[in-house]
Structure 1
Amino acid sequence: MLNLLKQGMSPQKLAATVAVGSVVGVIPMLGATTVLGTAIAARFRLNIAATVLVSYLMQPFQILLALPFIKLGISWFGLDELQLTFDEMTAMFRSDWLNALNKLWQANLAGISAWAILALPSGLVLYFIFLPVFKRFLPQTVVAEAKG
């Protein structure tokens, strides 16, 4: 993190980088964080390496939040409640594996949609939480270099 601060990032850019990396890091779709984080960071001229690093650090939260996002999406979009215990999923695949894949795909898509709806407001909240922290603790020489 100190190396990132020494690269001349302003508190605003650093707060945006951490917010984007945090939000992208919890998308309930394994493997999407690198591509999505890189694309967003490149679009908004944020530090790509730092954004991807933060998103990787969020992976434990990604795993923890996957089911809540899926359940939220299922309830928001009125899908049939999906039984997510191992035994029930095994029974679902044994009886009709194609239907089971379809239900899991729909549930995951609902979870991604719930994440997408919450991503922008969550990112803004995180940005405004991190901004005063970085303004306070960022070395003044880095702030001066970033302005110049």
Structure 2
Amino acid sequence: MSALSVISAFVKRRLVQPVSNLLRQGMTPRSLSATVAVGSVIGVVPAIGITTILSTAVAARFRLNIAATVLVSYLVQPLQFLLAIPFIRLGITIFGLGELRLTLPEMQDMFRKDWVDAISKLWMANLAGIAAWAMLSVPLGAALYYILLPIFRRVLPKPKLVVVDAPAATAEV
């Protein structure tokens, strides 16, 4: 047995199967689609450290599976780091904050010159990025929901109808 097959079996047994079981646990295609859409959209917010609180609050508000929503937000978190700069640049463009250099040497130079001004500019740029994410989150979440819904309808098992025999009513006079 090769090392790759051992690692693959371990990942499947310890990560993929438990995640799959959690996501399928008594969820309808609609609720699973909503859970994955909400978790995915919240997981890419360009503000590090608030995804757990935000996904818990939104999942509780809309009566989604909180654990599954938080799990999905954690699974898409690598995208948070990849999309932070594009969201910030989009926010800067939308709100007309002017040119902000985001390369490491230019930010180091900003901090050497005036660190208070650098923090102020980066704070405003991050807020603009969060605002750009907020504007895009609802349409992207809705699109993701409607894309995932037919997929989950095919993948999830059909619920079994349980017929309960009612006891025969007796007429007492």
From 82, 86, 89, the equivalent of 1:64 is: 82
- Structure with greater proportional helix content: 1
Task: Measure, in 1, the Cα distance between the counterparts of 2:114 and 2:86.
Answer: 25
Question: CA offsets, 1:38-95, max 9 Å, x none?
Answer: 0000000000000000000111100000000000000000002110111110110010
From 81, 86, 99, the equivalent of 2:99 is: 81
Aligned to 1:134: 152
- 1:14 equivalent in alignment to 2:32: yes
Runs of 4+ in structure 1 off by over 6 angstroms are none
Contact 2:43/2:77, CA 8 A, preserved across alignment:
yes
Q: 5+ unaligned residues in a row in structure 2: which ranges? A: 1-18, 162-173
Task: Measure, in 2, the Cα distance between the counterparts of 1:5 and 1:114.
Answer: 29
Percent identity, aligned pairs only, is: 65
Q: Higher relative CO (CA 8 A, sep ≥ 6), structure 1 or 2? A: 1
- 1:44 equivalent in alignment to 2:99: no
- TM-score calculated relative to the size of structure 2: 0.80
1:24 partner amino acid: I
RMSD: 1.1
User: What secondary structure is seen at the aligned counterpart in 2 of 1:140?
Assistant: coil
Question: CA offsets, 1:99-141, max 9 Å, x none?
Answer: 0000000000000000000000000000000100000110113
1:80 partner amino acid: G
- TM-score calculated relative to the size of structure 1: 0.93
Larger Rg: 2
Contact 2:24/2:32, CA 8 A, preserved across alignment:
no
